[in-house]
Amino acid sequence: MRYDLQRLGPFGFQDCAAALAIRVLGAHVRPMGRGRDGGRDMLAKGVVVWTANDQYGSESWDGTTMFQVKHKATLEGPKKDAAWVREQIRTELVEWSSPDTKRGDVPNYLVFVTNVPLTPTQDKGGFDTVVAAVQRYLNGLNDSTAEDHLSGHDKLAARKEREARRDRMRNLRAWRIWDGYQIDGLLDAHEGVRRAFDGFLTAGDVLADLTQLSTHLKQDEIGGALRDHARWALVNERNVYFDEAGGETKGVPVEQVAVDLPVLVDDEPSTERVIRYTLDHGDRMLKPTITTHDKPRHLVVVGAPGNGKTTVSKFLVHAYRAALVAESDDLGDEHQAAVNGTKGALTSMGRALPASRRWPIRVDLAKFAIAQAANEDYTLLHWIASHLTRQVASKDVPRWALWKWLQTWPSFIVLDGLDEVTEPSVRKTLVADVEAFVAEAESKDADMLVVVTTRPTGYVDDMPSTMFSRVDLADLTIEDALAYGRRVARVRIPSDRTRRDGVVELLQDASKDDALQHLLRTPLQVLIMTIIAETSRQFSPSRYALFWGYYKVVEQREQTKELGYSALLRDYAQVVLDLHRRVGLTLQQQAETATGADSVMSPEELRDTAWHVLKASGYDPSNADKGLLDRIIAAATHRLVLITPQAGGGFGYEVRSLQEMMAALALTTGTLEDAIPKLRRIGASPHWRNTFLFAAGRYFSEPQPHQKEAVTSLVLTIDEDAPERLGAVVPVGPALALEIVDDGMATEPIYLHPLVTRSLKLLEAPEPQDGLVIASQFAGAVAMTSAVSTLIVDGFRAALGGTSVARNTAASIQRWFGVLRDFNPRYSRLNPEAAALDRLKRNPKVSLPPEPVSDWAEFHATLNGYADDENRDALNEIAACVENMANSGARPQTTAQLAELLSDPNVAFVCEAALVHVADACPALVAGLRDTVMPILWRRPVEL
Do residues 449 and 285 touch, judged by C-beta distance below 8 A?
yes
Residue 246 has pLDDT above 70, yes or no: no
Q: How much is the mean pLDDT over the chain?
A: 87
Please, are residues 478 and 520 in contact by the beta-carbon 8 Å criterion? yes
Give per-residue pLDDT as tens, 378-435.
899 999 888 888 776 556 777 877 888 888 888 999 999 999 998 888 888 999 999 9
Tell me if 937 sits within 8 A of 903, measured CB to CB. yes
**Could you give the CA distance from residue 242 to residue 228 in angstroms, rounded to a whole number?**
28
Give the C-alpha separation, 257 to 318, whole Å: 13
CA separation for the pair 96, 803 (Å, rounded): 54
Q: Poorest-confidence range of 13-27, 383-397, 665-679, 704-718? A: 383-397
Q: Is the pLDDT of residue 98 over 60?
A: yes
What would the mean pLDDT of 499-527 be, rounded to a whole number? Answer: 90
Contact between 275 and 257 under an 8 Å Cβ cutoff? The reply is no
Euclidean distance between CA atoms 726 and 913, whole angstroms:
9
Mean pLDDT check: name the lowest of 354-368, 591-605, 848-862: 591-605
Residue of higher predicted confidence among 744 and 38: 744
Q: Can you point out the beta strands (E) in 303-383?
A: 359-364
pLDDT-based confidence at residue 213 (cuts at 50, 70, 90)? very low
| Residue 537 pLDDT greater than 80, yes or no | no
At 248, the pLDDT band (50, 70, 90 cuts) reads very low
Please tell me the predicted confidence (pLDDT) of residue 784: 86
pLDDT in tens, 282-300: 988 888 888 777 789 999 9
Confidence of residue 944 (pLDDT cuts 50, 70, 90): confident
pLDDT of 208 strictly over 70: no
pTM, to two decimals = 0.84
Mean pLDDT, range 335-364, rounded to an integer: 92
Lowest mean pLDDT among 27-31, 313-317, 394-398: 394-398
The pLDDT value recorded for residue 244 is 44
User: At residue 834, does pLDDT exceed 80?
Assistant: no
- For the stretch 159-183, pLDDT in tens is 898 899 999 999 999 999 999 999 9
Burial call 612-631: b when 16+ CB within 10 Å, e when fewer: ebbeeeebebeeebeebbeb
- 876 burial (CB, 10 Å; 0-12 / 13-18 / 19+) is middle
Is the pLDDT confidence value at 218 over 60?
Answer: no
**Considering the chain, what percentage of its residues have pLDDT values greater than 90?**
54
User: Which pLDDT score is estimated for 733?
Assistant: 97
Pairwise pLDDT comparison (604 vs 38), residue with the higher score = 604
> What average pLDDT does range 427-445 have in this prediction?
92
What pLDDT, on the 0 to 100 scale, is given for residue 295?
A: 85
Average pLDDT of span 468-496 = 90
b (16+ CB within 10 A) / e for 167-191: ebbeebeebbbbbbbbbbbbbeebe
CA 693, 699, 700, 706 dihedral sign is: negative
**Least reliable range by pLDDT among 7-21, 315-329, 379-393, 621-635:** 379-393
Residue 237 has a CB neighbour count (10 Å cut-off) of: 15
Question: Is the predicted pLDDT of residue 717 greater than 90, yes or no?
Answer: yes
User: From residue 133, how far is each of 164, 183, 720, 899 by CA, in Å?
Assistant: 21, 22, 80, 72
Q: Using the predicted structure, report yes or no on whether residue 738 has a pLDDT greater than 60.
A: yes
- Per-residue pLDDT band at 263 (split at 50, 70, 90): confident
Give me the pLDDT at residue 257, please. 87
Higher pLDDT, 714 or 234: 714
pLDDT band at 245 (very low <50, low <70, confident <90, very high): very low
> pLDDT digit string (tens) for 120-132?
888 888 999 999 9
Residue 938: pLDDT over 50: yes
